[in-house]
Amino acid sequence: MPRKAERIVLVKGGYRRVREALERYREQLYHYNSVVAPLGYYLKPVHYSYYTTADGERRRYVYLGRYWYRLEKRGGRTRLRYIGREKPRELEGLPDPPPNPLEGLRFARIGESDDIILDYDAYERFKWLFEGLEALVFEVVPRRAQAKPRL
């Protein structure tokens, strides 16, 4: 059975655009966090995940959205403990945080360059962000899984 091709997009200079939009959003978020931090909570707009490929290349994936943390004090240090993507029930009476215009955007940055790779659906959803930048669409066919030896 043939494998289905997946479309990905390389956006040249896309990371710079993401950083600019995120910086504008962070200004709004800092104000919101000044309200919720005294209650023991913190809202982060970005989550980073690291992955090492089979050939040893290290990739950093960036997820943009709302990530709630509880502030905990241990041994004189304040630590953040992840509690989820939904607003905690203890904060129900407070206004909702400002909407993140980049919520749901997921991409991989290519090395230290400003070029990024994202799936085609994400590119279509956030096309407004990358307007005027060069975007290359690629069809990628996944490699066939190797058969496991039978014992």
Q: Which two tokens stand for residue 18?
A: 């993401």
In this structure, are residues 36 and 70 in contact, taking their beta carbons and an 8 Å threshold?
A: no
Entry pTM? 0.69
Mean pLDDT, the chain cut into blocks of 10 residues (151 residues total): 78 95 89 91 86 82 84 88 89 88 87 91 96 94 63 48
The Cα–Cα gap between 43 and 69 comes to: 6
Angle, CA 15 vertex, CA 14 and CA 20 arms, to 5°: 100
- pLDDT of 122 reads 94
Q: Which two tokens stand for residue 136?
A: 């290359």
Q: How far is CA 17 from CA 2, 20, 59, 150, in A?
A: 37, 5, 20, 50
